[in-house]
A and B are shown apart, each in its own frame.
Chain A
Amino acid sequence: MKLIAFLLPQFHRIPENDQWWGEGFTEWTNTKKAVPLYPGHLQPKEPFEQYYYDLTDRAARNWQAEVAKAFGIYGFCYYHYWFKGKPLLERPFNQVLTSGEPQFPFCLSWANESWTRKWDGGDNELLIRQEYGDEEDWELHFYELLKAFRDERYIRIDNKPVFIIYRPGKIPRCDEMLNLWNRLAVKNGLDGIFFVRTLGGFEIPSQNGFDASVEFEPHYTFAHGDTQRLWHYMDLGGKEHLVFDYDQAWLSILNRSHHRNGEKIFPGAYVNWDNTPRLGERGQSAIGASPRKFGWYLTKQIGRAKSLYQSDFLFINAWNEWAEGAFLEPDRRYQFRYLEEVKKALEQAGAFPAVDS
């Protein structure tokens, strides 16, 4: 069983964020200003030993991989941002490529959403619009990715680099683009690209060209699970805050039919969810998360991955989404408890230590 954790690179300064959010902005800016909104609301989330790392620092990237590996995470899935020729937040990953460190498997997920002030990928209050262009732009994008695809650490299936697209439904002429990329991949000595669509919190149209789908939790469950009774409004002194039950969301995940449309599916897991650091009471938070529960549910989901999905891979949201409460990294409150649960779950599945990581 190979557990892959999504990794957010927004832990370093970029000029665009300085301009949009203020001088010195990183994801830590959001987490530091978070406050508890209700009794038992665990905010702010603080990293273990106050390690507010900068991902342009090689030591931070190596530390992440060492910790992940020690607890059995197989690899990272770095978010990749590309706005028709314009990359964002690319420096940490480019440094991973050029430095050859850390020696840890990885793949990419193209987070192809517009950036907005509401952090919702929508079309209002745009910071930068996601556009796709045509063949010339696609080719440029491919050659940007090729550097990564050729890296020996890149995670492959059927000898093809695994490339996840977050919202393929937003890409006009998507299958043509995927076709072109596959042709270019072969032309450049690869066996092709293993394209994976994200099953997330949005409409997912039927599209050709994908080799598999990945369940991105808890968003997929929010949008497509049986969740009419999941959400509740909490009254915060006249302001409404949306909360959901941590266990109920997991129950919905674990009771979902593994049958979708006959395609290969990589199941997902979520650590926790709380995006109030970004949105305050306008955000949503899970009630009742804990490391032990996460371990329990992860163990079950690993069992499902093996027996029902016949999948060697399971994707966890996330390694370090601190401003969304979705992180495995050690923090001040729980220290390494979430990671210890990952290790325990893998041990129970007979998958720790990993044989081929």
Chain B
Amino acid sequence: MTRKKKHRPRNSGITVRLHPKTRILLAKTVVRALRKMNIPQPEARRELPSISGFVDHKQIRILMVSSLTGESMWQVEQMIAEQFRLLAKELVSIKAFQSFSSALVQLNPDLLLVVGNEESFSGTDLEIIRKAPLKKAIWLSDGSFTSESTARLAALFDYVFTQNTLHIPFYQHSGCKNVRYLPFAADRSLFSPRSVNAEYKSYLLLLGDARGAGKEYAEKIKHLFTIKKVAAAGIGWEEYPGLKVLAPDTELQDYYNGAELVIHWGGPAAKFFDIAACGVFQLAEGHPNIYEYMNPGEDIVIFHTADELLEKLHYYSSHADAKRAIASRALWKSTYDYSFLQMASKLLHTIFNYS
């Protein structure tokens, strides 16, 4: 009794004191576990179970390295990770920290997937990636622009997934063999149907610069600017009186939800999906990014000329239920056709079923 009492923790407050023997036991267990973790695991089966082209993705182990920075993309990163957890056997998600490539040796995954291209990787990391004998893919966050350095990074990977179809020839020219258009889905934590305050409401929301073709579009519909509530985001709108011009860094989700109709040009895929996920009707300039996932006339309406824009604007302004049906279909497809689950599934399919 006395001995037992002697080793009882005296402090019953915040600090928990363990019996010395227990402490030693725990320490040994932790050390053993750490040693085990650092020992390269037995070679995973390179040949994944396959039945006439079928690959069981639930046998795949993925190391996902996020190179997405800042607060705006953290939900996207988490959503991507969550889908791979659903689809694959194991997903280990790490940030692209200095010397992250050591995790490759520790984990020996079937797939290295880098998401984003915002962090610059060290020469050592790049070299280890280049030499690593496993499937390597990068899902670029290159929506609006790309660069030589992005192309050089992409060339280290067997599979390159881009946010913009227009970048494909550039990456191919830079030595990437398998390049595919695979946009990020909408971040549904931000973009979803919502009711918004009057300050966000408009009849028309215009997204795009009032320059070049955009100027032509603006001129064609400017008669509406003074008779309807119209908001615009982009460059060059100041010269149009009656418009509410949104500041360049305005978060648009509430404006999407407040608009009866969104008109946009310029083409980043994210915009199509974000507007669709709010259940809002969009009239968009035709762009190669649209056609792989969306179907004009079904979940989006397309224009190619200023005249066509005006004609379709008139039609859908007076056919509210046709407009609503298209917006509803886009909302539906945001869940079932162009969500992160479909994108993640497509990525795995591209890598493991076509290789």
Contacts and interface: CB of A to CB of B under 8 A. Distances in A.
A262 B201 contact: yes
A171 interface: no
A260 B203 contact: no
Nearest to A224: B321
Contact of B323 (A223, A225, A261): A261
Interface stretch (A43-51, A238-246, A303-311): A303-311
B142 interface: no
Closest 10 pairs (CB-CB, A-B):
A257-B279, A261-B320, A257-B327, A257-B328, A224-B321, A206-B318, A262-B260, A256-B328, A260-B324, A310-B195
Interface string A248-277: 000000011111111000000000000000
Given A257-B193, A257-B324, A308-B193, 8 more contacts: A224-B321, A224-B324, A225-B325, A226-B325, A256-B328, A257-B331, A258-B193, A259-B260
A196 B100 CA distance: 62
Interface string B237-248: 000000000000
A255 B321 contact: no
Contacts of A205: 318
Interface string B322-339: 011101111110010000
Interface of A is mostly: loop
Given A226-B328, A226-B329, A259 B321 contact: no
Contacts of B318: 205-206
A199 interface: yes
Contact of B320 (A260, A307, A310): A260
B191 interface: no
Nearest to A203: B321
A257 B280 contact: yes
Interface string A131-159: 00000000000000000000000000000
Contact of B332 (A226, A259, A261, A310): A226
Contacts of B193: 257-259, 308
B194 interface: yes
Interface in B190-228: 193-195, 201, 203
Interface string A307-343: 1111000000000000000000000000000000000
A70 interface: no
A204 interface: yes
Nearest to B280: A259
Contact of B195 (A224, A225, A255, A308): A308
Nearest to A263: B320
Contact of B194 (A225, A261, A308): A308
B340 interface: no
A206 B316 CA distance: 10
Contacts of A225: 325, 328
B255 interface: no
A259 B279 CA distance: 7
A258 B278 CA distance: 10
Given A206-B320, A260-B321, A255 B332 contact: yes
A261 B316 CA distance: 10
A261 B328 contact: no
B195 A204 contact: no
A99 to B, nearest CB: 40
Nearest to A226: B329
A138 B279 CA distance: 39
Interface of A: 199, 204-206, 223-226, 255-262, 307-310
A256 B324 contact: yes
12 contacts: A204-B320, A206-B317, A256-B324, A257-B280, A257-B331, A259-B278, A259-B279, A260-B323, A261-B260, A261-B323, A308-B195, A310-B195
B281 A259 contact: yes
A296 B281 CA distance: 29
A289 to B, nearest CB: 23
A255 B328 contact: yes
B352 to A, nearest CB: 31
A357 to B, nearest CB: 25
A258 B321 CA distance: 11
Contact of A307 (B195, B327, B330, B335): B195
Contacts of A256: 324, 328, 331
A259 B195 CA distance: 9
Contacts of A310: 195
Contacts of B325: 224-226
Interface in B303-355: 317-321, 323-325, 327-332, 335
A199 B321 contact: yes
Contact of A258 (B195, B320, B323, B332): B195
A306 B331 CA distance: 19
A182 to B, nearest CB: 22
A248 to B, nearest CB: 12
B330 to A, nearest CB: 8
Contacts of A223: 321
Contacts of A262: 201, 203, 260
B279 to A, nearest CB: 3
Contacts of B257: 259
A252 B292 CA distance: 24
Contacts of A260: 320-321, 323-324
B337 to A, nearest CB: 12
Contacts of A226: 325, 328-329, 332
Q: Count chain B CB atoms within 10 A of each CB in A226, A255, A257 and give the residue with the most.
A: A257
A204 B279 contact: no
Nearest to B331: A257
A259 B328 CA distance: 9
Contacts of B331: 255-257
